[in-house]
Structure 1
Amino acid sequence: MGKLGEALSVERTRLFVGRDKELRFMKNWLVQQDAPAEVLFISGMGGIGKSALMLQFLNMAQREGVNSIWLDGRVCMDTPAGFLESLKAFLVHHPLVTASHHKSIQDIIAEMARGKLLLCIDNYEYIHKIEGWFREAFLPGLSASGLLVVLASRQDLSFYWQMDLAWQNRIRHIKLGPLTGGEARNYFSQRGLAIESEVEQLIGDSQGLPLAMALFAEHLLFPRPESAASVMPISMRVSAEMLREVTSSELKEVLELLCILPYADPKWLGWLLGTPLSMMDLERLTGYSFIRPTAGGLALHDVARTFLIEDLLQREPLRFQELRIKIMEGLTKELKQAGGQEKKRIASVMLSTCRDIFHLNSISIISANMELMEMQPFRTPDLPQLHQIITEDIAYSISSEIDHALLNALAEQFPESIHVFRSAEEVPLTFTAGVLLYKETISLLDHFIPGVLDDVFPKEIKYMRHLPIEQADTYYQLLTGVSTRKSDYTFHELVGTIVSDSIIHYTAGLRHVILTTYEQTNEMLGNLGFQSRPLPGRTREHPLYGALIHTRDLRGSEVGDHILDLVKIPLGGEKAGTSYEFTEKEMIAALTLMDNPTALEQSDLARKLSCSGPELQHKLQSVFSNHPPFPLTKRDQALLKILAEAPLITAEMAAEQLFISRATYYRARRTAIQNLIDMIKGAT
């Protein structure tokens, strides 16, 4: 009897369409003798088929007997030590070379360099912080021929890969685009669908996006009996309900868990469900087009996960909260029993699961879908604008002169230490810069801020000055700035990009240290669980006089209990002791005054909340952001927008604009107003 992996490989190949040019390249490389070492960079939007193409490459290599390695950047910790441990773990369980827990990674790499090798790293954007080390230290240790490194990422090939003269002749960059109409038609044919007018409409609406095509096919092939008479949706807005129609009822809770978790292995799913998943269940799950295996377990495709979260929040917001607490309690127990890199991995999952719980001045600073506002790697053309941001406003300021000089040094020597969030026009709006502390980075900081590290780490600095990068476990924040230029984002949203970058990427398994004199930053860090102490030995004339050293040490398991405490707020968001009673009239009146903070400050709602007009204005404006705050839904948002613009509109006219019946409008209006009240209470 053949292995399941072989059967899955055959099925994936049968259903794979298009990408002929890319497949020809791989075929030629596999048969070429003494092929020079190359890097193939695959980029494209989510759902465009990067991972599917990479799986085809792996299948082709296996058929030709070429050794292959697959790593998932979402699971690799973004430190050199974490990457090497993930590589070693793969080789121990997939012995392409003689690997064991006791063998050094240097010996394993030396063996890898002896034969032809395909190295694939999916979701490469998650490890871009160690890109310099990966390019200049890790890859040069492999063979100069017979090596193909395939990197798949949503982000384009970085500036440093492109400008490195030594690598220019060894790099190929493929930007994946949508499939053609003919390829889409071929895909539906392979799925066994007749090419009728309805399917032709779907081909047009899917715009060649492979993920949307797969979901449409599942919907057509496996409809629920009770919905057979309903009209099939053909819009690109593939709903979460469509996903449920292709999933059996027994696996409903698995999907709900996966829409909250970034990924989960069978063990996690088993204890969260209260019963282990059978092999048949696992096979069925891996067979769905919107579920993909990763190194950490099963994961929903990002687009599908977005649909499911929106659907769950709209239908059962209390269940969403209950499920999340259940997940966090389970992960907290796992965290306490884990060790090494596993502890860091679980902590990272917990932080990713709870991005939306962090606030500044009662206003949410981390978007429910922060992936749309993620920091990106620094590029040299960013530098003048970053200097301008320092001039305008710097949150963690040492002194203007030192800050500018330090930024230049980091850009030249450690460019991966700088992360930037840009506008749609590619103009930097926020940035953050910090380093792992080890021999080379400490030498740099001793030059720019002599004596500071001795006071921050009085008992450790002598030892830390000799640390190699692989043993570094302390992240030191240096510079952070928010542009004052007008943009499509609020100040709090821009601050959120910085906080999210720090929480998700640095604090899991590391000690995070920040030195600042900025009062608002001190308050925010305290809310995030940082412990503070004064920096000693500075006179009143010194620029660091009054500075506080903020430390958050997550090298142990305490992170689980800390995050769990943050998650366990009362359902509905009400704080103990509050007894606000808001009326529909007050809410609608405030919405109509949303553009007038002076008038808002005189409103009944502002009086009950004891907040200023601008504060209330910001809370109300957040209702109409791209991702409405919990528990509001897109449907609530559309209805409230109508009420804000035309408070006296009749029910008939409003229902017509929303494409719903008059009776449905009244129910939807009550729900939207109540959700708005709950949101306002939760933000107070």
Structure 2
Amino acid sequence: MESISTEKNEIARRQVIGFSREMNSLEQWVADPSGDLRLFSVSGIGGIGKTTLLTEMFRRAKQASLLVLWLDGQSELTTSGAFLSSLEMSLQNEYGRFRDPDVPLLPYLVAELSKQRSVLVMDNCERLDLIESWLLSSFLPRLKDAEVLLVIASRNGLPVKWRTNPLLDGRIQTFPLKLFSREEIHEYLRDSGLEEAVQKEIAQKTEGLPLLLAMIVDLQRSREGDVREIPSMLSAEFLKEVASPSLFQALTVLSLLPAADQPAIDNLLDDPITASGYFELGKLSFIRSTPYGLSLHHVVARLLREEHARRNPSQFRRQRLHVFKLLAEQFRLADKRRQMQIAAHVLELYREFLPAAHAYADFSSTLKPQEHSPYRAEDLPDLQRFLGWSISNSDWQSELVDPREYHELLETIATDHPEGIFVVRDPGGTPVAFCAGFWLHAGTMPLLDRYAPRLSSILGEDSSGLRLLPAEAADTICVLLAAVNIRHPLYRPEELGALLMRQWLIFMTRGFKGINITADPNLNSLFSLMGFKESGRIKPEGPEDTGGLTQWELDFRQAAFEEWVQKVIRQTGPADDAPNMPMPGAGQDLSVPIDGKTVKRILERLYDTEQLERIPSVRALHLPAAALQKNVLDLLMAEPPAYPLTKLEQQILRESFVRKEWNKNELAARFHMSRTTFYRHSRTALEHFAHVLSRLV
């Protein structure tokens, strides 16, 4: 029996954080007078704290005067004989109990464990399968009425065979361990002896993996070793699970992808993995299956990427570029939810190129964007409070609106048009940041005139069209207010600013256009760095308004996600790092602005060559109107339709602009869609047709 005293002493030097749910369950079992056989299944990736939890449970059970035995699965669960011998030696060494030579080993151990409330703590149980049949058929049935608790820790948890066994029905509690929250990270750091500034930096740049946090703190305390070596050290720890060099190469590739099936992984490997190799990948503790293939735990993925970039920087950049092009192609074909996931992953892949020292946004933080959660009425008091603090600091807000009306404007948006509020929440669901404005359509334009009367002058000819646009067709939002919780005890304002910007951008990649207007030089610089396009200026209104206002736009309605990413990276990164080569299927001359809006104008004037030639984008093509008309009609009738245009989208465009026999409501009914769904399909059809037409001309 291997002693755990050394390991326990090592862990005791570290503060034990978290585990309240797990320890409460232990206390409840200890206090339950009708206690019977129970199993706790503790699972999680390497470094998540399984051994720490088991050591704490061992200590608490000892304090409660229970009989407590520790087994190491790596050496003591290989055979039933080794398991029983280890229990016997533990009883001898820890409790001075010896078996009479005439008593068989198994009945003796069952009797000893049944005499009093007992706990068996079993760590490193990855190979429990070696003796699980014997445990389930011969050992555990003898203890079914005994007050015995088995605490079993493994990376992947107990197999299905255990969870479906009739004997154990209702006796198993599962404890999948999670990363530390930001609050738990600060709690861990509080007694570390490190300076407060160092603690804040560590909290900002670690992702809650206990082992990673402990290693960084130890290195900072000792000032021996280089923190930059940690990804390599932890990568080696994770790769203990990997059985072959080929799987290691596949993991390196998978660290660059949000999720991938076997063909996608093979596409980035010199030597493709086998079907059995792909199956083995799926069994690793830090990999989960998704509808899109295997996905690596985000902390493990980041550490493997950092190690890859350090070990072979040129290969890392080449593979990252290849992945970017692959994801750009997937983005065009993905549904809206998947597009948001791809956008989030690409921003993470290229996070090093995003601003790390800006007055409003620090993207070096490891805060991870959450799933988008809509505004709720109970959020308003928090948002009004953030807004009040922001006003007092004179930051984030649009000078288009009178500051005295900020609170009223937010109340109006929340009451009449809550879809215009974008909320960012912490992992517990509490708001930490927001931005708010109006989706531009017939119902909101009068409110925009009321609160931001100068905007109409900058919207130009689009303003009249927006005043007739139904709400369900709106695809442009004008942001007027934004604020973060600048008094949050755990997150710095710049972190929250970056998180707000990232999550809003990810949301907008679903095919929307955003407008922001400001005179704040810090916001002007941020919008420029983040790939916004300057689209107009509003002159100063009076002597006190000296700077004027700049309008910034970001337009994802034409599925130009990859071009936006290229622009952001090229502004801040070395030329050889920027993914600036043509994307798959993107052969168009970007100097000729053919987008969904242009295609709509072309289709509306398709049979009027004189009107057709007056469209600025058509003039820029240097193509006779008659030739353009023929090309468009050929594309509308082509069988099969040119990629990425689908047959349904082709039919929608033909019925809407060529045959024109039905109005919008009738068309929606004809295609068995709601009016809102029909508008959405129509916009996508125009975007895809623009993509096809751009390649053709």
Please tell me whether Structure 1 or Structure 2 has the larger radius of gyration of its CA atoms. 2
* TM-score bin, normalised by smaller chain: 0.3 to 0.5
State the TM-score, normalizing by the size of structure 1. 0.44
State the TM-score, normalizing by the size of structure 2. 0.44
